[in-house]
Amino acid sequence: MHNLFKTILLLSVILFTYLAYAGIDDQIAQNQTEITKNPLQMNEENIKAGKKLWRKGGCYSCHGGQAEGGVGPNLQDDTWVYKPTDSMLFKTIAKGRPGTNMVGWEKELNNDEIWKIIIYIRSIYVGDPSKIIWD
C-alpha cells in the first residue's frame, strides 16, 4: 500500500509539473502571435537576413528556392488559401498548419527572425498587389 501511495504521489507531481509548463508554453506562444503588423522595416538588410533564414531553416525544401512552390504552396503569386496578412504569415510560421506538412518554428526562431522571413517573402512577391492585404 505504501508503494502505491508513492507511485500515485510521483505521478501527481509529474502531471502537475507537465501542466504547469504546458501553460507557460501556451502563454509564450500567445504573446508571440499577438503582434499583427510586422514591426521591422522592409529594407535590404532585413531582406537579406530573411533570405538567409529562409535558407538556413530549409523553407526552400517545401516552398522552393524562390518560394515558387513545391510540396508547400507558392508564396510569390496571388493565389493564397488563407488571408495573406503579416499576422497570418507570422502565425503560420510560428505555429504551423494542422493537416499539412507545415510545422511550427516558434521554438527554433525568435520573433524578429520570423518577421525577417516574412519581409523576404514580401520582397519576392510577383502577384497582383490588389489581391494581397499588406499589413
Residue 73: Cβ within 10 Å count: 20
For residue 58, give the CATH number of its domain.
Answer: 1.10.760.10
Within a domain: 24:
no
Residue 55 placed within a domain? yes
Provide the residue type at 84 as one letter.
Answer: P
Residue 26 lies in a domain: no
Residue 126 corresponds to which cell in the numbers above?
Answer: 510577383
Question: Structural domain tally of the chain?
Answer: 1
Determine the average pLDDT of the residues in 18-45: 62
17 pLDDT exceeds 70?
no
Q: Compute φ and ψ for 96, nearest 5 degrees.
A: 85, -175
In a domain, 7, yes or no: no
Q: Which pLDDT value is given to residue 18?
A: 45
pLDDT in tens, 80-103: 888 888 899 999 999 999 999 999
Domain assignment present for 57: yes
Range of the domain at 65: 33-131
Mean residue pLDDT across the chain: 80
Grid coordinates representing 72 are 508547400
Highest mean pLDDT among 3-17, 26-40, 66-80: 66-80
Residue 12 lies in a domain: no
Long-range contacts, 111-114 (Cβ 8 Å, 24+)? 111/32, 111/35, 112/40, 113/53, 114/90
Mean local confidence (pLDDT), 64-89: 88
Q: Which helix (H) or strand (E) holds 53?
A: helix 44-57
Predicted pLDDT at 134: 65
Residue 87: inside a domain, yes or no? yes
Average the pLDDT over 122-128 and give the result: 89
CA atoms of 29 and 7, how far apart (whole Å): 33
Domain contains 79:
yes
C-alpha 41, offset from chain centre: 19
